[in-house]
Amino acid sequence: MCNKNFIFLAGHHRSGTSLLHEILKEHPEISGFSNTGVPEDEGQHLQTVYKPATEFGGPGKYIFNPASQMTEEHPLATSKSAELLLAQWGKYYDNSKSHFIEKSPPNLIRTRFFQKIFPNSKFIVILRHPIAVSYATKKWSKTSVKSLIEHTVLGYEVFMEDKKKLNNVYVLRYEDFVKNPQVEIDAVFDFLGLKSISVNHDVKKNVNDKYFDMWMEERRKLRNKIALHVSGKVERRAIRYGYSLLEKDKVLPLPAEFSNFAR
């Protein structure tokens, strides 16, 4: 398979992947996509090897379709796929750089596929509170907040299982990143084995708050008490990833399964 040093950035839509991508590709040893003409310069739209998220329902829906998930067992996990992706993506990369970065939300459920065809790959996965992801994505999905929360948690569950098979993966949380962007970026570059750079972007710290306010206000309305009811089961599933759906300000430490000290 291919021996290029790929960095795959993954996370749900509206989880901070775009900002993280912009920061990381400013490193002198990293080449990323810019001005490609496709949405958010995402690699999923610059290739014909595998289907993008839109083919499975789009943001807030695609993970519900099992066919969207890809592992090393997928029939497309071949050297031919690696060669074709390199040819198609290579038109947008600077080959003089030691690392290529690619950012697409569906990477969240395709890490094992990319590890198979690009064995030297490293994965950076960003998590964000399911309530914030859901409200930020609602305008695209046209589905209920309850369904979007389920989709968000399901994506984390798929990734958690896949993480067991990954050789090089780093998990960070959006909430930690916006609170201390330089500290988190320094840790990411340490994982990549590269000298860190300064964060020169405006990182807004309290964006989640407006989504939490929307959630709490809607849940107070009588007609939404049933529609937005959070079962104990869903709450336990979310807490497994450090997030509470009932106590919006409660952000727990990342669970041991996401430890970045046992890669």
pLDDT tens digit string along 106-151? 999 999 999 999 999 999 999 999 999 999 999 888 898 989 999 9
Q: pLDDT digits over 92-103, tens only?
A: 999 999 999 999
Q: How many residues does the chain have?
A: 263
Q: pLDDT digits over 61-104, tens only?
A: 999 999 999 999 999 999 999 999 999 999 999 999 999 999 99
Write the DSSP symbol of residue 103: E
pTM of the model: 0.92
- pLDDT, position 215: 83
- pLDDT, position 263: 38
- pLDDT, position 19: 95
- pLDDT, position 259: 63
Which of 216, 207, 51 has the alpha carbon at shortest distance from 136? Answer: 207
Residue range 6-257, CATH number: 3.40.50.300
More confident residue, 227 or 168: 168
- C-alpha 7/C-alpha 2 separation (Å) is 13
Left (φ > 0), alpha (ψ -120 to 50) or beta: where does 242 sit? left
Query: Is the predicted pLDDT of residue 261 greater than 50, yes or no?
Result: no
- pLDDT, position 197: 98
Q: pLDDT digits over 166-192, tens only?
A: 999 999 999 999 999 999 999 999 999
| CB distance 190 to 172 below 8 Å | no
Written as six digits, the tokens of 27 are: 């490193």
- pLDDT, position 136: 93
Query: Is the predicted pLDDT of residue 225 greater than 70, yes or no?
Result: no
More confident residue, 230 or 236: 236
CA-CA-CA-CA torsion sign (104, 14, 201, 160): negative
Query: Is the predicted pLDDT of residue 3 greater than 70, yes or no?
Result: no
Q: Is 1 helix (H, G, I), strand (E, B) or coil?
A: coil
More confident residue, 142 or 56: 56
Query: Is the predicted pLDDT of residue 21 greater than 70, yes or no?
Result: yes
- pLDDT, position 94: 95
Average model confidence (pLDDT) across the chain:
90
